[in-house]
Amino acid sequence: MFCRCGRVNGYITTQNSYLLCMEISTNIFSMHHKMKGEGTLAEKIRRPRYAGHPYDSTLKLLMEDRENEVIPQLLPEAQYIETLNVEVLRDPLRVDRVYRVWYRRSMHILHLEFETDADGEMATRLLEYHTCFLRKYQLPVLSLIVYPFSTTVVESPLEEKSGRETILTFHFRTLCLWKLSAERYVRERIFCMYSLLPTMRGAGARLLINALDEMAEYYKGNDLRLSGELFRFGLLLRRAERILPDEKRQVEERLSMWDNLIEQDPKVRQMRAESELIGEARGVAQGIAAMQSTVLDTLEERFPQLATAARADVERITSLESLRHLIMEIVVARDEAAARRAIDAHLPA
């Protein structure tokens, strides 16, 4: 892909591109927060982060190009048929993923939502979309909420009552990843779920480090897929509260091994030095513009038509954190529709 972050130009690999863009925005962002007395970006990352948006977006990426593998893990007996491109973007909820699936000897619509925090209105929103999909596709709709982290879980069914009369009963499904056994997925070598292991029960240092080694071997020769898996794994690891601090540190050290390998590349070192100069010379506004430019360059390289159509939307995204995540999501997007969904997920409400 091509990158126009400041003075950094030219074709670079997807992993190095992503890491370099992180460096540039980190330098700018760190200067900004130092001036405000908020600490560096690295210090902010070490603090608990409970904003659900980056995690929701990352979890959506789990499905891309692996629906055949992941859907049966989330909904046993379901067989993936196709991904439906629906435009249901009414604030404040955006639909995560909708699929046509074969389930219990008939065709169904599967509506999948990832929720990282409690939402008291989730059930009524599910009902709204359930009705929309039922009317649109004329097929039974299965609504499933996936919770990666321990939180208050909305209970099924949702009932609407008038006195003693029940007007409506709406059943939906929930899946709490923190109740699943990490050991089972490693034992059965279900690699499509490995990036979710830090959220699961029994995810200790030994198991997670072994899983990282197995991932590296399994995806050997496919750097694009491996970088995406490690990215999701690390993001969820930082949020995971059930892993003891010392064990989490051990796993993070193994993850950092990949960064250290990249650091040894002379070209990356030179680019990093240039990015530090850029960060010192430019303010936050310029940093945002540089990151937006990188997003558009990445789109131009992978999905040229979308780059033109989505330019205005990309320019609306002014969060450095959202732009950093968006770069990686576009890099690993399976097709233009997936990239479009990634952009939509980061648009300000």
Domain spans of the chain, in order of start: 14-48+264-346, 57-178, 180-240
Contacts of 48 (CB under 8 A, 6+ apart): 239, 241
Q: What is the mean pLDDT of residues 257-263?
A: 56
Q: What's the pLDDT tens digit per position in 155-194? A: 999 999 999 999 999 999 999 999 999 999 999 999 999 9
Q: What is the mean pLDDT of residues 247-254?
A: 92
- Is the pLDDT assigned to residue 263 strictly greater than 70? no
Could you say which DSSP state residue 13 is in? -
330, burial (CB in 10 Å: exposed 0-12, middle 13-18, buried 19+): buried
29, burial (CB in 10 Å: exposed 0-12, middle 13-18, buried 19+): buried
- Is the pLDDT assigned to residue 276 strictly greater than 70? no
pLDDT over 90 percentage in the chain: 38
Q: What is the mean pLDDT of residues 320-338?
A: 83
Q: What's the pLDDT tens digit per position in 101-123? A: 999 999 999 999 988 888 888 99
Rounded to whole angstroms, the Cα distance separating 122 from 111 reads 13
What integer pLDDT is reported at residue 92 of this predicted model? 37
The per-residue pLDDT of the chain, averaged, comes to 77
- Candidate CATH numbers 3.40.1350, 3.30.70, 3.20.20, 2.60.40; the one for domain 57-178: 3.40.1350
- Is the pLDDT assigned to residue 32 strictly greater than 50? no
Q: What's the pLDDT tens digit per position in 61-99? A: 777 778 999 999 999 999 999 988 765 444 434 567 899
What integer pLDDT is reported at residue 258 of this predicted model? 63
